[in-house]
Homo-oligomer: A and B are copies of this chain.
């Protein structure tokens, strides 16, 4: 889709009345070139034009143009499992020499043997035990470095690409388009905030202070007179489901006017975003492309999409069909 700016001017007619005529004066590059020209792309552009046009009944002042994005499955892929799980399991392997007892102790034994079925059969408690044992007790600065080092070397099992290349090109364009229109773009993710902040600015253009996520409890202490912040083996906040609007309130203190997600974990964020008094927009990324990415919804362990899809239909939220709506999925497909 291209945009043509029309210069309105007026001409004298023979009867000395005037008529308005329009001349195209500039062809503005499509801000969303990786999106096909479907109704969903039009819905995005229409919303942005409405809230940014002064005098429009739906105009929203720039300070209130808050847009919140889920991360896993919305800005990057989340298959065959959340990338942060892979990071965490890799941490267990890296730390195993210091923990000989893990060879015999579940769920660590299963991680070390690559038996993910057993790991996940242990449910949330087993995963939390792994997360706490492998991520806690580091200072925030040490942990950020560990994340960066991992991203520098780890490769996705299907594509062989670094994880930070498994981001969605159409969503990068959408982030930039919103920012160009005065929006402040936030991540609101169930993922760990200390896991995301070291790279979101470089990859998405989203600075650390606009990343909201699940967090460990953090303790300030002086180590040899030097102040440090240490991650404790305890969750401070779970930023998922009902936690998303709570996190949004806690960090931002304003209701977003646009929210983007892909699963039932985003439902309450959509509900909160669209319950304001002015114009609002909710968009679901529906993973429908088994060939270029993955196809899944209500039956998946990751990005389960069921209730939010029903509510989207009832409330007219936009549901993006990745297969039909997106020309390419990842930046590395660009020609």
Contact = CB atoms under 8 A, between A and B. Distances in A.
Interface of A: 63, 66, 140, 184, 193, 197, 201, 207-209, 211, 215, 218-220, 222, 226-227, 229, 236, 242-243, 245-246, 249-254, 268, 271-272, 275
A268 B208 contact: no
A64 B208 CA distance: 10
Shortest 7 CB-CB contacts between residues of A and residues of B: A208-B253, A220-B242, A209-B252, A227-B271, A197-B253, A220-B245, A218-B246
28 contacts: A66-B209, A193-B253, A197-B253, A207-B254, A208-B253, A208-B254, A209-B251, A209-B252, A209-B253, A211-B253, A215-B250, A218-B246, A218-B249, A218-B250, A219-B242, A219-B246, A220-B242, A220-B243, A220-B245, A220-B272, A226-B275, A227-B245, A227-B268, A227-B272, A229-B245, A229-B249, A229-B272, A236-B250
Contacts of A215: 250
Contact of A222 (B207, B226, B271): B271
Contacts of A220: 242-243, 245-246, 268, 272
Contacts of A66: 209
Contact of A227 (B193, B222, B275): B275
A6 to B, nearest CB: 35
A63 B229 contact: no
A208 B249 CA distance: 10
Nearest to A144: B253
A272 B226 CA distance: 9
A246 B222 CA distance: 13
- Which of A209, A252, A268, A272 is the most central at the interface, judged by chain B CB atoms within 10 Å of its CB? A209
A163 to B, nearest CB: 20
A134 to B, nearest CB: 20
Contacts of A218: 246, 249-250
Nearest to A193: B253
A209 B67 CA distance: 13
Contacts of A222: 271
Nearest to A207: B63
B252 A208 contact: yes
Nearest to A274: B227
A253 B208 CA distance: 5
